[in-house]
Amino acid sequence: MSTKGVFSDQHKLSLSHKEVNVSGFTISMNFWAWVSPWINQLGNVDDLGTMVSLFHGYDMDYFIDRGKFIMAHNEVCRKLEENELPMDLVMEKTHELGERILKIVLANYTKVKRLRIDELELIMTSLFNWSREICSYGYMAVLMDFPEEYITPRMEEILKLKCKNSKADARLTLISSHLKKPAVLATEELCRLVSAGGNLNEWLDKWFWLDFGHIGTPLTEDKMREKYAHILADKNSAEAELAKIEQYHSQIQDRQQTLVSELDLTDKEKNIFETAQKCSYLKGYRMDILSASNAFFDHVFTAYAEKWGWDKDIFRFSTKEEVLSYFESTKPDVKKILSRKQESVWAVNNDNEGVIILQGKEADDFVASRLVTEIESMSSELIKGNTAYPGVVKGPVRIVMNASDLGKVQDGDVLVAVQTTPELLPGMKKAIAFVTDIGGITSHAAIVSREMKKPCVVGAKNATKVLKDGDMVKVDADHGYILLLP
């Protein structure tokens, strides 16, 4: 495969963010989506330069050509202001792809070992391509607050002028969606099942993939009983939870219409909040659907690793094309593939078809010459970010850089991370508040905070650098501040 684009473009690439508990295979599907025709069609974005994932085990640093991303960001924000972003088309295409993905996963998950090789190859290729496409549509939302924030402070600007009461409550109402993403539909279905005394195994067979993330584990009966203990307690508890969900989703549109009238929002201002609402919903929907795809891929990898006596990481750190070649009897270079997990560069560029992987000296030289790996540090007793969910709490800080740090988090702690991912949910359930360095109102932390109703400040820049484990802080998510207490 040609490496023309990766090596001919000598722009420095800036560290954008870090992700944990991910694999090369799943990340290639996600970040290859940036290099796609759909991005250009929707947002007039034709070149984002070279993008790089730098792996260290299951942890990854993500690098971008910041200048090109900012140009794309500016164009998407311009289209947003002019109401030219085709968000309704994005919603339609995303749902269409999501339904396809769920249908094929549920129809084939239990019979992976019985599928012919040609059938399996077709299914995996389809899932990979559809998942890549759903990411591309979803990245319209990402570009509004990445790599610089726009839509979040734009909403703050409007509310500052027009809202006399709680700005955080007003924004939360205006960006909340009446649409139900898969995780909510699953909860409703479980409530009805418990209320009717139905078979829980049937529910588990349908929703086993929830919260899988990149390389998680399927939902088991024990995990289900732990996660949904408040519903499974008894029939009354299930009915109460169902009524709560239905009431919220039936009333949110009325509350939004009333607030829009009270604030006297112009059509342009209303479009800002409606777009934010769609973006927030789409981000959660996309994460749910990708969990289904990734659960299927991992199930295939487990089955064939056992069948062939391989380490499953051979699949996890291979490209889609390499994985498909294994089913055609190609033997992998085991040592080379497994060494990618320790350290490797995965790059995409508009000039290249597919993912370029650099290892050894070639990777070291690329890192040394092209990657800016340090984020500027700062020191302050007051850290400023953006409100994702309001509330004011005090507690000790726990810095969570990856899933191995989750053991530090206890009930009542403030979880501080570069960004959160589904793998960090166990710690988020214990924490009383979340603070992230990066992300806007459509980030994972923002979505989870609204679901859990816990104070959350996102886009706090260098919170993980300024704070350390054990620091006592006051999280004022009403105003987007984190105060380091004496």
More confident residue, 121 or 33: 121
105 and 240 housed in the same domain? no
Q: DSSP letter for 133, please.
A: H
pLDDT tens readout for residues 353-368: 788 999 999 999 999 9
How do residues 405-427 score in pLDDT, each as one tens digit? Answer: 999 999 999 999 988 988 888 89
Give Cα separations from 467 to 355, 400, 404, 437 (angstroms): 36, 11, 19, 11
- pTM recorded for the entire structure: 0.85
Q: Is residue 208 part of a domain?
A: yes
Residues 209 and 293 in one domain: no
Task: Write down the pLDDT at residue 8.
Answer: 66
The residue among 326, 353, 372 that closes a domain is 372
Q: Does residue 404 register a pLDDT over 90? A: no
Whether residues 314 and 222 fall in one domain: no
Range of the domain at 155: 151-282
Q: Looking at 252, 282, 312, which one is the last position of a domain? A: 282
Q: How many Å apart are CA 207 and CA 333, to the nearest integer?
A: 36
Q: Which residue has the tokens 């418990």?
A: 194
Q: Is residue 21 part of a domain?
A: yes
Q: Extract the tokens encoding 371.
A: 């990657």
- Looking at per-residue pLDDT, the higher value among 462 and 63 belongs to 63
Q: Quick one: average pLDDT of 436-448? A: 85
Say whether both 141 and 168 belong to one domain: no
Instruction: Report the C-alpha gap between 233 and 423 in whole angstroms.
Output: 26
Q: What is the pLDDT of residue 46?
A: 72
pLDDT for residue 400 is more than 90: yes
Local structure of 220: helix, strand or coil: coil
What is the model's pLDDT at position 4? 59
Report how many domains make up the chain: 3
Q: Give per-residue pLDDT as tens, 111-158.
A: 999 999 999 999 999 999 999 999 999 888 888 888 878 888 899 899
Cα dihedral across residues 450, 456, 460, 464: positive or negative = negative
Query: Does one domain contain both 318 and 251?
Result: no
309: amino acid identity, one letter = G
User: Can you give the pLDDT at residue 6?
Assistant: 63
Q: Are 449 and 388 in contact (CB under 8 A)?
A: yes
> Over 60: is that where the pLDDT of 1 sits?
no
Q: How far apart are CA 75 and CA 65, in angstroms?
A: 16
Residue 447: inside a domain, yes or no? yes
Name the band, by pLDDT with cuts 50, 70 and 90, for residue 377.
Answer: very low
Contacts for 251-255 with beta carbons within 8 Å, 24 or more apart?
Answer: 252/173, 252/176, 252/177, 252/178, 253/178, 255/173
Single out the residue of 34, 459, 100 nearest to residue 289, CA to CA: 100
- CATH label of the domain that carries residue 402: 3.50.30.10
Of 206 and 73, more confident: 206
Q: Per-residue pLDDT tens for 63-105?
A: 998 888 888 888 888 899 999 989 999 999 999 999 999 999 9
Residue with tokens 């599928």: 115
Strand partners, 389: 456
Q: How far apart are the first and last CA of the chain?
A: 57
Domain annotation covers residue 40: yes
The SS3 call for residue 317 is: coil
| pLDDT confidence of residue 7 | 62
Instruction: Single out the residue of 169, 260, 214, 206 nearest to residue 403, CA to CA.
Output: 214
Q: Please, is 87 exposed, middle or buried when counting C-beta atoms within 10 Å of its C-beta (0-12, 13-18, 19+)?
A: buried
pLDDT of residue 71: 84
* 377 belongs to a structural domain: no
Q: Last residue of some domain: 344, 372, 400?
A: 372
At residue 5 the predicted structure's pLDDT band, cuts being 50, 70 and 90, is low
Q: Do 144 and 10 share a domain, yes or no? A: yes
Q: Is residue 327 part of a domain?
A: yes
Q: Are residues 69 and 140 in the same domain?
A: yes
> DSSP letters along 16-53, please?
EEEE-S--HHHHHHHHHTTSSHHHHHHH-------EEE
My answer on whether 278 and 292 are in the same domain is no
Tell me if residue 377 falls in helix, strand or coil.
coil
Amino acid at 292: A
273 and 295 part of one domain? no
Contacts of 229 (CB under 8 A, 6+ apart): none
Residue 380 has a pLDDT of 60
**Residue 464 domain-assigned?**
yes
Return d(Cα 287, Cα 216) in angstroms, integer.
Answer: 13
Task: With a cut of 50, say whether residue 378 has pLDDT above it.
Answer: no
162 & 266 share domain: yes
Residues with Cβ < 8 Å from 198, sequence gap 6 or more? 192
Token pair listed for 439: 């992300």
228 within a domain of the structure (yes/no): yes
Q: What's CA 462's distance to the chain center, in Å?
A: 20
Residues 289 and 142 in one domain: yes
- pLDDT digits over 233-277, tens only? 999 999 999 999 999 988 999 999 999 999 999 999 999 999 999
Q: Which helix (H) or strand (E) element contains residue 458? A: strand 456-458
Considering only CA atoms, which of 5, 110, 102, 108 is closest in space to residue 52?
A: 5
What pLDDT score does 364 carry?
94
Ranked by mean pLDDT, the top range of 84-93, 163-172, 290-299, 460-469 is 290-299
- Shared domain for 121 and 218, answered yes or no, is no
- DSSP letters, 50-97, are -EEEEEETTEEEEEE-HHHHHHHHHHHHHHHHTT---HHHHHHHHHHH
Question: In this structure, how many other beta carbons lie within 10 angstroms of the beta carbon of residue 20?
Answer: 23
Q: Are 204 and 110 in contact (CB under 8 A)?
A: no
